[in-house]
Homo-oligomer: A and B are copies of this chain.
Amino acid sequence: MPERGYHHGDLRNALLAATRELVRQRGARGFSVSEAARQVGVSSSAPYRHFADRDALLAATALEGFLELEEQLAELQALETLPHTAAQITTAYLRFAHEDPARFEVMFAHGLDKTQHEDLLQQTFRIQDQLNVRMARHLPRAQATQRAAELWSLAHGLATLSIGGNVQHVLPEVQIGELAASAAKAWARGLTQRPGD
Protein backbone atom coordinates (compact mmCIF):
# COMPACT_ATOMS: atom_id res chain seq x y z
CA MET A 1 0.00 0.00 0.00
CA PRO A 2 1.53 3.26 -1.16
CA GLU A 3 2.24 5.98 1.35
CA ARG A 4 0.04 8.88 0.60
CA GLY A 5 0.89 12.55 0.91
CA TYR A 6 -1.20 15.32 2.28
CA HIS A 7 -3.99 14.66 -0.19
CA HIS A 8 -5.64 11.33 -0.47
CA GLY A 9 -6.29 11.42 -4.17
CA ASP A 10 -9.50 9.44 -4.30
CA LEU A 11 -11.14 10.12 -1.01
CA ARG A 12 -14.69 10.22 -2.25
CA ASN A 13 -14.59 6.71 -3.64
CA ALA A 14 -12.57 5.38 -0.75
CA LEU A 15 -15.21 6.69 1.63
CA LEU A 16 -17.99 5.11 -0.36
CA ALA A 17 -16.24 1.75 -0.23
CA ALA A 18 -15.54 2.04 3.48
CA THR A 19 -19.10 3.09 4.12
CA ARG A 20 -20.52 0.14 2.30
CA GLU A 21 -18.32 -2.25 4.23
CA LEU A 22 -19.08 -0.63 7.58
CA VAL A 23 -22.79 -0.61 6.90
CA ARG A 24 -22.57 -4.25 6.00
CA GLN A 25 -20.85 -5.03 9.27
CA ARG A 26 -22.46 -2.77 11.84
CA GLY A 27 -25.72 -1.96 10.09
CA ALA A 28 -27.00 1.43 9.05
CA ARG A 29 -27.42 2.57 12.62
CA GLY A 30 -24.00 1.50 13.80
CA PHE A 31 -22.24 3.28 11.00
CA SER A 32 -20.36 6.48 11.76
CA VAL A 33 -18.62 8.97 9.52
CA SER A 34 -15.72 9.12 11.95
CA GLU A 35 -15.04 5.44 11.66
CA ALA A 36 -15.17 5.52 7.89
CA ALA A 37 -12.64 8.35 7.93
CA ARG A 38 -10.43 6.45 10.35
CA GLN A 39 -10.55 3.38 8.17
CA VAL A 40 -9.52 5.34 5.12
CA GLY A 41 -6.80 7.11 7.05
CA VAL A 42 -7.94 10.72 6.98
CA SER A 43 -9.04 13.09 9.69
CA SER A 44 -12.59 12.91 10.89
CA SER A 45 -13.53 16.18 9.25
CA ALA A 46 -12.17 15.35 5.82
CA PRO A 47 -15.31 13.53 4.64
CA TYR A 48 -17.28 16.75 4.91
CA ARG A 49 -15.37 18.12 1.93
CA HIS A 50 -17.10 15.50 -0.20
CA PHE A 51 -20.42 14.92 1.52
CA ALA A 52 -22.62 17.56 3.11
CA ASP A 53 -23.41 15.40 6.10
CA ARG A 54 -23.79 11.85 7.28
CA ASP A 55 -27.05 11.40 5.42
CA ALA A 56 -25.50 12.53 2.17
CA LEU A 57 -22.85 9.85 2.49
CA LEU A 58 -25.51 7.23 3.13
CA ALA A 59 -27.59 8.56 0.26
CA ALA A 60 -24.63 8.21 -2.05
CA THR A 61 -24.14 4.57 -1.12
CA ALA A 62 -27.86 4.06 -1.55
CA LEU A 63 -27.57 5.50 -5.04
CA GLU A 64 -24.83 3.00 -5.88
CA GLY A 65 -27.19 0.30 -4.72
CA PHE A 66 -29.99 1.53 -6.97
CA LEU A 67 -27.64 1.63 -9.94
CA GLU A 68 -26.58 -1.93 -9.27
CA LEU A 69 -30.17 -3.04 -8.89
CA GLU A 70 -31.08 -1.50 -12.20
CA GLU A 71 -28.21 -3.36 -13.85
CA GLN A 72 -29.20 -6.68 -12.40
CA LEU A 73 -32.77 -6.23 -13.55
CA ALA A 74 -31.61 -5.19 -16.99
CA GLU A 75 -29.60 -8.38 -17.34
CA LEU A 76 -32.65 -10.62 -17.01
CA GLN A 77 -33.61 -12.21 -20.30
CA ALA A 78 -37.18 -11.80 -21.45
CA LEU A 79 -39.40 -14.79 -20.83
CA GLU A 80 -42.45 -16.06 -22.65
CA THR A 81 -45.24 -15.81 -20.12
CA LEU A 82 -46.25 -13.24 -17.54
CA PRO A 83 -46.16 -15.64 -14.58
CA HIS A 84 -42.64 -16.70 -15.41
CA THR A 85 -41.55 -13.11 -15.87
CA ALA A 86 -43.08 -12.09 -12.56
CA ALA A 87 -41.38 -14.96 -10.76
CA GLN A 88 -38.08 -14.18 -12.42
CA ILE A 89 -38.15 -10.53 -11.43
CA THR A 90 -39.25 -11.29 -7.90
CA THR A 91 -36.50 -13.80 -7.26
CA ALA A 92 -33.89 -11.49 -8.78
CA TYR A 93 -35.04 -8.71 -6.49
CA LEU A 94 -34.86 -11.06 -3.55
CA ARG A 95 -31.36 -12.15 -4.47
CA PHE A 96 -30.22 -8.55 -4.65
CA ALA A 97 -31.67 -7.78 -1.24
CA HIS A 98 -29.96 -10.77 0.34
CA GLU A 99 -26.59 -9.93 -1.17
CA ASP A 100 -26.22 -6.99 1.19
CA PRO A 101 -29.24 -6.61 3.46
CA ALA A 102 -27.90 -3.63 5.34
CA ARG A 103 -27.33 -1.64 2.19
CA PHE A 104 -30.74 -2.65 0.95
CA GLU A 105 -32.16 -1.20 4.12
CA VAL A 106 -30.23 2.02 3.60
CA MET A 107 -31.69 2.28 0.12
CA PHE A 108 -35.20 2.34 1.47
CA ALA A 109 -34.70 3.86 4.89
CA HIS A 110 -37.46 6.36 5.37
CA GLY A 111 -34.98 8.53 7.18
CA LEU A 112 -33.56 9.56 3.82
CA ASP A 113 -36.03 11.96 2.34
CA LYS A 114 -35.93 11.07 -1.34
CA THR A 115 -37.37 14.42 -2.25
CA GLN A 116 -34.18 15.93 -0.82
CA HIS A 117 -31.99 13.72 -2.97
CA GLU A 118 -33.09 14.24 -6.52
CA ASP A 119 -30.70 11.64 -7.94
CA LEU A 120 -32.14 8.94 -5.73
CA LEU A 121 -35.62 9.74 -6.91
CA GLN A 122 -34.51 9.65 -10.54
CA GLN A 123 -32.91 6.27 -10.13
CA THR A 124 -36.08 4.97 -8.51
CA PHE A 125 -37.95 5.99 -11.64
CA ARG A 126 -35.52 4.15 -13.85
CA ILE A 127 -36.13 0.97 -11.95
CA GLN A 128 -39.85 1.45 -12.30
CA ASP A 129 -39.27 1.84 -16.00
CA GLN A 130 -37.42 -1.44 -16.14
CA LEU A 131 -40.45 -3.14 -14.71
CA ASN A 132 -42.87 -1.18 -16.88
CA VAL A 133 -41.15 -2.33 -20.03
CA ARG A 134 -41.24 -5.93 -18.98
CA MET A 135 -44.90 -5.76 -17.99
CA ALA A 136 -45.77 -4.08 -21.25
CA ARG A 137 -44.70 -7.19 -23.09
CA HIS A 138 -47.52 -9.17 -21.57
CA LEU A 139 -50.20 -6.64 -20.72
CA PRO A 140 -52.20 -3.82 -22.28
CA ARG A 141 -50.16 -0.63 -22.22
CA ALA A 142 -52.71 1.14 -20.04
CA GLN A 143 -52.22 -1.37 -17.27
CA ALA A 144 -48.46 -1.72 -17.35
CA THR A 145 -47.48 1.03 -14.94
CA GLN A 146 -49.89 0.07 -12.23
CA ARG A 147 -49.11 -3.59 -12.60
CA ALA A 148 -45.41 -2.87 -12.43
CA ALA A 149 -45.96 -1.07 -9.16
CA GLU A 150 -47.90 -4.03 -7.85
CA LEU A 151 -45.17 -6.43 -8.79
CA TRP A 152 -42.53 -4.23 -7.24
CA SER A 153 -44.56 -4.11 -4.05
CA LEU A 154 -44.82 -7.84 -3.90
CA ALA A 155 -41.11 -8.32 -4.46
CA HIS A 156 -40.23 -5.59 -2.00
CA GLY A 157 -42.44 -6.99 0.73
CA LEU A 158 -40.97 -10.44 0.31
CA ALA A 159 -37.49 -8.98 0.45
CA THR A 160 -37.94 -6.84 3.54
CA LEU A 161 -39.88 -9.39 5.55
CA SER A 162 -37.43 -12.10 4.62
CA ILE A 163 -34.41 -10.00 5.52
CA GLY A 164 -35.99 -9.04 8.80
CA GLY A 165 -36.40 -12.69 9.66
CA ASN A 166 -40.15 -12.43 9.79
CA VAL A 167 -40.83 -15.22 7.36
CA GLN A 168 -38.13 -17.74 8.21
CA HIS A 169 -39.31 -18.31 11.74
CA VAL A 170 -42.81 -19.03 10.57
CA LEU A 171 -41.92 -21.13 7.61
CA PRO A 172 -38.49 -22.53 8.29
CA GLU A 173 -38.86 -25.40 5.87
CA VAL A 174 -40.02 -23.51 2.84
CA GLN A 175 -37.34 -21.85 0.78
CA ILE A 176 -38.08 -18.18 0.55
CA GLY A 177 -37.31 -18.31 -3.14
CA GLU A 178 -40.05 -20.83 -3.77
CA LEU A 179 -42.50 -18.76 -1.80
CA ALA A 180 -41.61 -15.74 -3.86
CA ALA A 181 -42.03 -17.53 -7.15
CA SER A 182 -45.31 -19.00 -6.06
CA ALA A 183 -46.73 -15.65 -4.95
CA ALA A 184 -45.58 -13.89 -8.10
CA LYS A 185 -47.09 -16.51 -10.35
CA ALA A 186 -50.39 -16.44 -8.51
CA TRP A 187 -50.54 -12.69 -8.87
CA ALA A 188 -49.73 -12.89 -12.57
CA ARG A 189 -52.29 -15.58 -13.27
CA GLY A 190 -54.90 -13.62 -11.40
CA LEU A 191 -54.31 -10.63 -13.65
CA THR A 192 -55.07 -12.42 -16.89
CA GLN A 193 -58.00 -14.31 -15.52
CA ARG A 194 -60.50 -11.56 -14.91
CA PRO A 195 -58.89 -8.27 -15.86
CA GLY A 196 -61.85 -6.32 -14.58
CA ASP A 197 -63.21 -6.24 -11.04
Contact = CB atoms under 8 A, between A and B. Distances in A.
A164 B101 contact: no
Given A27-B111, A108-B160, A160-B157, A171 B193 contact: no
Interface stretch (A5-13, A33-41, A70-78, A145-153): A145-153
A40 B177 CA distance: 47
Interface residues of A, number: 54
Contacts of A170: 124-125, 128, 145, 149
A138 to B, nearest CB: 13
A105 B171 CA distance: 23
A49 interface: no
A191 B186 contact: yes
Assembly of this chain: how many copies?
A: 2
Contact of A161 (B83, B111, B156, B163): B156
A179 to B, nearest CB: 6
A141 interface: no
Nearest to A132: B170
B128 A165 contact: no
Contacts of A101: 110
B182 A146 contact: yes
A24 interface: no
B149 A153 contact: no
Nearest to A197: B185
Given A128-B170, A157-B159, A186-B190, 11 more contacts: A29-B29, A108-B166, A146-B179, A149-B179, A150-B179, A150-B183, A153-B179, A155-B157, A156-B160, A157-B158, A185-B197
22 contacts: A28-B110, A102-B110, A105-B110, A108-B160, A108-B164, A108-B166, A114-B165, A115-B165, A124-B166, A128-B170, A149-B167, A153-B154, A153-B183, A154-B187, A157-B157, A157-B158, A157-B159, A185-B197, A186-B188, A186-B191, A188-B190, A189-B193
